[in-house]
Structure 1
Amino acid sequence: MTTEVLAAAGRLVAAFGAHDTAAYFGSFAADATFVFHTHATPLRSLSDYEQIWYGWEREGFHVESCSSSDQHVQLFGDVAVFTHRVRTVIRTGEGPESLDERETIVFRREPDGRWLAVHEHLSPSPA
């Protein structure tokens, strides 16, 4: 199962890094929640996140690349906790920006066997 979770995480990161919004948002369950250090309040659903994302895009936001390292998976039955370090290059209306962050993604195995993300927590890496 660890291999399946790593594959699901890999697809999610690859879709994010390619700014493939359909594949990226398709990696999450509708009831997923999100905690981002760049956003003042938690997002309580995938729909809430999509609304924020599309607002960012209207302001010039675009993901240029994303890479994952220091990956770790913990399995708890039909739930898995995936942690990693993520380096992202984004473009905004102000130009390119490089981000170095730590991320936890909680996955849930669906009845059809797919692993979907149900929670994402992003924080800046220590200096």
Structure 2
Amino acid sequence: MSERDVLDAVDRIIDDFGHHRRDAYFRGFAEDATFLLHTAPARLESRADYEAAWDGWEAEGFQVLACRSTARRVQLLGDDVAVFSHDVATDLADGDGQTTVLERETIVMQRRDGAWLAVHEHLSPREQG
């Protein structure tokens, strides 16, 4: 296991998200992944729950236009678990127009059957600064 392997997996997730490649984006997450998103009223208990929320947002006009990741850090925890944290700036479109959202994100990665998958994501708002 190396930091580069984790970053490669995370970068695929970020790139797929930033280009609104929905299906590819979700393939970066384990089916049993959990999500704490400040835009959702409660913890999402599975990838399927997040996909359903995403579909609802899309029905309201949600689209990711771009995503930038900075202040990146990987913490390796043994051979099969890593924590990735970063600041994220996302350009979004919705029914009201376009906006840039600033957030902090932590993604817990686990190596399963030789592949790194996200098993938990925590996203919180970040003040501009």
Bin the TM-score by the shorter chain.
over 0.9
1:97 Cα deviation after fit: 1.1
**Whole-angstrom CA distance in 1 between matches of 2:56 and 2:38:** 17
1:58 Cα deviation after fit: 0.7
Unmatched 5+ stretches in structure 1? none
**Whole-angstrom CA distance in 2 between matches of 1:59 and 1:125:** 24
Unmatched 5+ stretches in structure 2? none
Letter of the 2:85 partner, please give it.
T
Letter of the 2:69 partner, please give it.
S
Equivalent position of 1:81 in the other structure: 83
CA-atom RMSD, angstroms? 0.8
Letter of the 2:95 partner, please give it.
G
Equivalent position of 1:109 in the other structure: 111
Q: Which runs of 4+ in 1 moved over 4 A?
A: none
**Whole-angstrom CA distance in 1 between matches of 2:109 and 2:16:** 16
Equivalent position of 1:27 in the other structure: 28
**Whole-angstrom CA distance in 1 between matches of 2:37 and 2:53:** 12
Q: How does 1:1-127 map to 2 (within 5 A)?
A: 1-77=2-78, 78-111=80-113, 113-127=114-128
**Whole-angstrom CA distance in 2 between matches of 1:57 and 1:79:** 32
Query: What per-residue deviation string (whole Å, max 9, x for no partner) do you get for residues 90-113 of structure 1?
Result: 0000000110110000000012x1
1:126 Cα deviation after fit: 3.4
**Whole-angstrom CA distance in 2 between matches of 1:82 and 1:62:** 24
| Sequence identity percentage | 52
TM-score by length of 1: 0.97
1:37 Cα deviation after fit: 1.0
Letter of the 2:54 partner, please give it.
W
How many equivalent pairs are there? 126
Query: What per-residue deviation string (whole Å, max 9, x for no partner) do you get for residues 36-58 of structure 1?
Result: 11111000000000000001101
TM-score by length of 2: 0.95
